[in-house]
Amino acid sequence: MDIETCIKKLGYVGVLDFATVDENGAPQIRNISAIHYEGTTLYFLTARGKPFARQLKADGRVQILGYTKYKETIRLSGRAIEVPEDEQIKWRDVIYAEQPYLENVYPGETKNIDTIFMIKDYTIEYFCLSTRPITREYFAVGDAEIKKKGYYISEDCVGCGTCQTVCPQNCIEEGSPFVIDENHCLQCGNCAENCPVEAIRRY
């Protein structure tokens, strides 16, 4: 997998789920379809008065989820910024040209309430359940940094092999210490729960 293919897949999915946090730290999620992909940068449209726009302005953190029929999840985490005033019309026109139905949603002058946000620095987690073992990959775009999650095996490992026998994806290799293949790990924690010396740690 690679970033460009992930972006293409998000484009094919079309309507994506966008999650933000509100002023109380509560999760908020909604469908968004008015998205333009310019290379790896996403431009998307909403209306200034919506809670969505207010949450993006106040906080900016956004997580986007797309799911394909091949049992793939593409999860994008980043920060949205409002496009500068002098570029608003340009990107709005691009989005309306690609998605003419928007003219029915905001006909004529009413589209002046629209505002365009962009996301250019983000990480992507690609997760696919249709392979055996499963596939998980991370990518970073722009200034974003990948935050590790899941499990690793520390030097406390005594090489008993129990973790291998309980791993549902057979993604632990023998060694000193044993090693988890992160690209195939479910992050289920079964190895950690069964290690007799608690050598398996969470990142």
Ligand X SMILES: Cc1cc2nc3c(=O)[nH]c(=O)nc-3n(C[C@H](O)[C@H](O)[C@H](O)COP(=O)(O)O)c2cc1C
Quickly tell me which residue has 């919506």 as its tokens: 50
Beta-strand ranges (E) seen in 22-142 are 27-32, 35-38, 41-47, 61-67, 72-79, 81-82, 114-119, 122-128, 135-141
Query: Binding partner of residue 200 among ligand SF4, ligand X, none, CB under 5 to 8 Å per kind?
Result: ligand SF4
Residue 18 or 127: the one with the smaller Cβ distance to ligand X is 18
Residues 11-50 within binding reach of ligand X (CB under 6 A): 15, 28, 30-34, 45-47, 50
Binding status of residue 52 toward ligand X by CB under 6 A: yes
Choose between 51 and 168: whose C-beta lies nearer to ligand SF4: 168
Of 105, 92, 99, the residue nearest 14 (C-alpha): 99
Nearest distance in Å: CB 26, ligand SF4: 29
H helix and E strand count, the chain: 6, 14
In what helix (H) or strand (E) does residue 200 lie, and over which residues does it extend? strand 200-202
Could you give the CA distance from residue 112 to residue 107 in angstroms, rounded to a whole number? 10
Out of 1, 7, 16, 195, the only residue in the binding site for ligand SF4 (CB under 6 A) is 195
Contact characters 77-116, ligand X, x per CB under 6 A? ----------------------------------------
To ligand SF4, the closest distance from the beta carbon of 187 in angstroms equals 5
Report the alpha-carbon distance of residue 105 to residue 18 in Å, rounded: 19
Lookup: tokens for 36: 């333009």
Contacts of 156 (CB under 8 A, 6+ apart): 177, 197, 198, 199
Binding mask 135-174 for ligand SF4 (x = CB under 6 A): ----------------x-x---xxxxxxx---xxx-xx--
**110 in helix, strand or coil?**
helix
CB of 122 to ligand SF4, least distance (A): 25
Q: Interface with ligand X by CB under 6 A: which residues?
A: 15, 28, 30-34, 45-47, 50-52
Binding site for ligand SF4 (CB under 6 A): 151, 153, 157-163, 167-169, 171-172, 177-178, 180, 185-191, 195, 197, 199-200
